[in-house]
């Protein structure tokens, strides 16, 4: 299902700022383009992540919406080299897991998994920082390491 609510593209300014400062990120662009601005896409340097992947650049997509002041978001990483993808979603797809869940799909290992997740902070930029750290320092090395 898609995210509930309406996009507030003004929030993307701060999020873009965070992405541009993150070491493995090479470029950040708006999707579908910088006029319509529905979401943000960062391209990841495949040689800078652990373990390295490639040759294609993985993508990191961010969409943030609001129902009044209630945030809904999708922070999702996808590696087209391996098909591995994972992310933190705050949506209505898995109410049994609470408001936020982490999910991953690894076609090489034939694994699909969902679990509840939580962020200590509420401001979008801090949630994004925490997600980036968890992803590149813990999740990718652990989930895509040696088979």
| Interacting residues toward other proteins by CB under 8 A | 1-11, 13-15, 17-18, 21-23, 33-38, 65-66, 69, 102, 115-126, 129-130, 132-134, 136-139
Contact between 119 and 135 (Cβ < 8 Å) = no
Q: Which residue, 37 or 94, is less far from other proteins as judged by CB?
A: 37
Q: How far is the CB of 83 from other proteins (least distance, A)?
A: 22
Q: How far is the CB of 55 from other proteins (least distance, A)?
A: 25
> With 0-12 CB in 10 A as exposed, 13-18 as middle and 19+ as buried, what is 145?
exposed
Q: Which residue, 84 or 135, is less far from other proteins as judged by CB?
A: 135
Q: Which residue, 10 or 55, is less far from other proteins as judged by CB?
A: 10
Q: How far is the CB of 42 from other proteins (least distance, A)?
A: 15
Q: Which residue, 111 or 133, is less far from other proteins as judged by CB?
A: 133
Q: How far is the CB of 73 from other proteins (least distance, A)?
A: 11
């Amino acid at each position: 299902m898609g995210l509930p609510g309406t996009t507030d593209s003004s929030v993307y300014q701060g999020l873009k700022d965070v992405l541009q400062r993150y070491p493995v990120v090479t470029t950040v662009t708006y999707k579908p383009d910088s006029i319509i601005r529905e979401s943000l896409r960062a391209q990841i340097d495949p040689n800078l992540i652990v373990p390295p992947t490639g040759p294609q650049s993985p993508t990191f997509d961010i969409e943030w919406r609001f129902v009044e002041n209630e945030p809904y978001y999708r922070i999702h990483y996808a590696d087209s080299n391996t098909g591995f993808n994972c992310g933190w979603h705050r949506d209505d797809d898995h109410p049994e897991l609470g408001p936020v869940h982490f999910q991953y799909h690894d076609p090489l290992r034939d694994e699909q998994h969902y679990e509840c997740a939580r962020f200590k902070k509420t401001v979008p930029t801090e949630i994004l920082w925490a997600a980036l750290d968890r992803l590149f320092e813990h999740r990718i090395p652990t989930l895509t390491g040696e088979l």
